[in-house]
Structure 1
Amino acid sequence: MLTLIKGADVFAPSPLGTQDVLIAGGKIVDIQPEITIDTYQRITTVDGTHCILAPGFVDSLVHITGGGGEAGFASRTPEMNLTDATLHGTTTVIAALGTDSSSRTHSNLIAKAKELKELGLNVFCHSGSYHLPAKTLTGSVTSDLMYIDEFIGVGEVAISDHRSSQPTVQQLAELAAEAKVAGMLSGKKGTVSIHVGPVDTHLSLLHEVDKLTDISLAQFYPTHMNRNIDLLNAGVEFCKAGGTIDFTTSTTEYDLAHGEYSAAHALAYCLENKVDPTKLTMSSDGHASLPIFDKSYNLLGLEVGKESTLHGSFVEAVQKYNVSIEHALMAITSNPAQILGINKGVIKQSADADLVLLNKTTLAPTECWSKGVHMVSKGNALVKGAFE
């Protein structure tokens, strides 16, 4: 079967202008201003006029098995469903454990990843969790990355947070070194995802690793960098020193009222401060627990992250903060894919056919393909999980 998308304004994520895009066998076969096919094979033609065709979104932090609730067992968050991603243009997710690596396990994480992959989503995973020493599936980070296809890195390891294991420079350096070598041996990036909390030590631990060892800042991928202006400014300096940073699109009204920047605002702020656009990403933290703490770390409330906020923050960046469509898309497509070392997030010949068609006026997703499978049509899910 062939699918021909006609006359869309293509962002790859760099702008390519009005193009026809032909997909077959799960791949992008051709991109031309005009494609005409004379064949007896069955062809599905999709009208892309008045639309933007973009790479399927890459969500670099999702808790697909749910998160452990900081308010006890009854507050454990649920697992994500396939359409939590696809209805909002996301075709690739990177899954991780968080605070809870006891009731949430790597065997559960991999099983859920395989479920979502069977349904058509692209899913990768991180070994480890918040705490060190790292918990693993096979007994070591090296074996996880080398022998389990889904594992591509480690994390999210918590720093500058009262919930972390308070890792030392040596512990973090040893973990990053193991992940890097394991990545080299398995053809993976071995990126270390870093959960950054609200404590004012910010990214100092990562700078210490960079200063005292052979591990560079580029090995780390700190997230939640939009918690407050001080952390955001620390992120600007981190990028200019060679690192990359990620902003969390799921948030709460309480946090926004108490100094947190929205991910879209943080993206715009960094671009205004001359940060290289390739060093900035956004992720949803979908299905994570979002605890609300006061200044003494007393729990005030608890909400749940949503994968849909990734698309919402893209729209907010473009429509409210005047970020270019190219730079806003880079933050949720090619940038996270490159940082994590996965072949996703671009539109080019022979690339996987992970695509989302957006209404040019509203930027709402109308069509979505994952590995060439038509997942969403006219805003409605064509493929669902067994229990959705």
Structure 2
Amino acid sequence: MNGLVIRNVRVYAPNSLGYKDIFIFGGKIIKIEDHVSCNVLKETGLVFRIIEGDQLLAVPGLIDQHVHFNGAGGEGGPLYRTPPTPLSLLVKAGITTAVGLLGTDGVARSLRELLMKARALEMEGITTKIFTGAYQIPSPVLTSDITSDIMLIDKVIGLKIAFSDHRSSHVSRQILQETVSQARVGGILSGKSGVVMIHIGEGSHRLRPFLDIVETTDIPIHQFAPTHLNRSREVLQEAVFWGREGGYVDISAGVSSRYGFISAVNPSQAVALLLKQGVAENRITMSSDGNGVMTVHNPDTGTLQPLIAPVKALFEEFTQMIREGIAIETAVRIVSTNVADHLCLFEKGRIVEGGDADLLLLSGDELSLHTVIARGEIMFEKGRVIKRGLFEEQ
């Protein structure tokens, strides 16, 4: 087993630690010190590599809690189904932990296939989890019910549903809160988060039914992870109130004008607005919606065309936030630390001794991706993918 020493790198853990040496061994961060003695390590007989961190920044690896890594889409018919995401696209985007989920199609898309894709990606080098469910209520499940999925299947950490959308199930509030309760109980009994990831559409109800549940039941607001909240200014403004009440607000990095979503508030601008209007920075998260696709009509031809959210959007918006004046520490929390805390991924989201060795090294000036380290293994370095999936072209 080989080790790794990163020397004299500026560390954001997410708080700034200044310039440090980092010693990694066995997939874990062993030491963060002003100086790690390589001579002492050599005397122990350890085999290790040294990376000179001068002019580089070290931040925790990105945690993407909403990525369709086994494919999504299909709303325009079979032609519009996106294929599974290869490992290389994730590591090139700085994603060291990915949470997979289903979308509109909970019929032809299978939770079993999603689970096996998650296991394959983990064997290839990154960390993966999944949400059970899909848009539909009652939710598709792997076992007999939502609670059992979360309790009995290692990779299942919560539930995915959709609401306030013409494609979602139009269920009563009673059924909705019973569904949420199943996820909460599953999380409590398994020691997991049991978070309910909610696709919020453009319908008129938006977040109000979930505010009602919080106000009239004992279900806490942090049980929910509503996403796509920058899809329009109207949805984002409602998200401000939700965030002020202590709820998590998830911004979709891949839903932006850059990728054809003309009604969306660009992600970095959405974050700035949330912070300005009083939403606590530890309640803001961002995910890619990577590999998700929606179909729209081309106004010139009348034909359907796909709008695809790429996984790389999460890293793009992370750096864009910093360029637009958001502190590096805050941006790191939004794409990594806050997500880890909400999903109870306790060894992720921070550069800390004893934590998983998931790190990104960035060039100091350009904020370009220099190195991706996942569980102590170098996956990407100096513009080149080092570790690819088994069936990718090498």
Answer yes or no: same fold by TM over 0.5. Answer: yes
Structure 1, 309-318 or 255-264: larger mean CA deviation:
255-264
Amino acid at match of 1:123: T
Determine whether 1:372 maps to 2:376. yes
Matched residue, 2:114:
109
Matched residue, 1:33:
34
Matched residue, 1:230:
234
Matched residue, 1:5:
6
Q: In the aligned structure 1, how far is the partner of 2:134 from the partner of 2:178? A: 15
Determine whether 1:353 maps to 2:354. no
- Measured after TM superposition, the shift of residue 387 of structure 1 is 2.0
Q: In the aligned structure 1, how far is the partner of 2:11 from the partner of 2:236? A: 32
Determine whether 1:327 maps to 2:326. no
Matched residue, 1:70:
75
Amino acid at match of 1:9: R
Please give the secondary structure, in 1, of the residue aligned with 2:162: strand
- Measured after TM superposition, the shift of residue 256 of structure 1 is 6.2
Q: In the aligned structure 2, how far is the partner of 1:273 from the partner of 1:347? A: 29
Q: In the aligned structure 2, how far is the partner of 1:365 from the partner of 1:174? A: 44
Q: In the aligned structure 1, how far is the partner of 2:259 from the partner of 2:49? A: 46
Matched residue, 1:310:
314
- Is there any run of 5+ residues in structure 1 with no aligned partner, and where? none
- Change in Cα spacing, 1:74 to 1:341, as seen in structure 2 (3 Å) is same
Matched residue, 2:271:
267
Q: In the aligned structure 1, how far is the partner of 2:205 from the partner of 2:264? A: 17
Matched residue, 2:172:
168
Residues 161-240 of structure 1 mapped to structure 2, 5 A cutoff: 161-240=165-244
Task: Select which of 48, 55, 60 maps to 1:50.
Answer: 55
Q: In the aligned structure 1, how far is the partner of 2:167 from the partner of 2:370? A: 40
Determine whether 1:340 maps to 2:346. no
Q: In the aligned structure 2, how far is the partner of 1:141 from the partner of 1:3? A: 41
Structure 1, 247-256 or 194-203: larger mean CA deviation:
247-256
Partner deviation per Cα, 1:152-207 (whole Å, 9 max, x = no partner): 0000x111111111132112211111111111111101000000001232201111
Structure 1, 255-264 or 332-341: larger mean CA deviation:
255-264
Amino acid at match of 1:329: V
- Change in Cα spacing, 1:290 to 1:361, as seen in structure 2 (3 Å) is farther
- Change in Cα spacing, 1:299 to 1:14, as seen in structure 2 (3 Å) is farther
Matched residue, 1:17:
18
Matched residue, 2:150:
145
* 1:145–1:151 contact (8 Å) kept in structure 2: yes
Please give the secondary structure, in 2, of the residue aligned with 1:234: helix
- Change in Cα spacing, 1:178 to 1:373, as seen in structure 2 (3 Å) is same
* 2:257–2:266 contact (8 Å) kept in structure 1: no
Residues 95-134 of structure 1 mapped to structure 2, 5 A cutoff: 95-134=100-139
- Change in Cα spacing, 1:178 to 1:88, as seen in structure 2 (3 Å) is same
Q: In the aligned structure 1, how far is the partner of 2:123 from the partner of 2:279? A: 38
Structure 1, 322-331 or 253-262: larger mean CA deviation:
253-262
Matched residue, 1:92:
97
- Is there any run of 5+ residues in structure 2 with no aligned partner, and where? none
TM-score (norm 2): 0.94
- Change in Cα spacing, 1:173 to 1:129, as seen in structure 2 (3 Å) is same
Partner deviation per Cα, 1:208-243 (whole Å, 9 max, x = no partner): 111222212211100000011121111111011121
Amino acid at match of 1:221: A
- Measured after TM superposition, the shift of residue 290 of structure 1 is 2.8
Q: In the aligned structure 2, how far is the partner of 1:111 from the partner of 1:28? A: 28
Matched residue, 2:84:
79
* 1:152–1:340 contact (8 Å) kept in structure 2: yes
Please give the secondary structure, in 2, of the residue aligned with 1:331: helix
* 2:259–2:308 contact (8 Å) kept in structure 1: no
* 1:68–1:103 contact (8 Å) kept in structure 2: no
Partner deviation per Cα, 1:129-173 (whole Å, 9 max, x = no partner): 111001101121111111110000000x11111111113211221
TM-score (norm 1): 0.95
- Measured after TM superposition, the shift of residue 382 of structure 1 is 1.1
- Change in Cα spacing, 1:299 to 1:60, as seen in structure 2 (3 Å) is farther
Q: In the aligned structure 2, how far is the partner of 1:256 from the partner of 1:103? A: 27
Amino acid at match of 1:341: C
- Measured after TM superposition, the shift of residue 257 of structure 1 is 6.8
Amino acid at match of 1:267: V
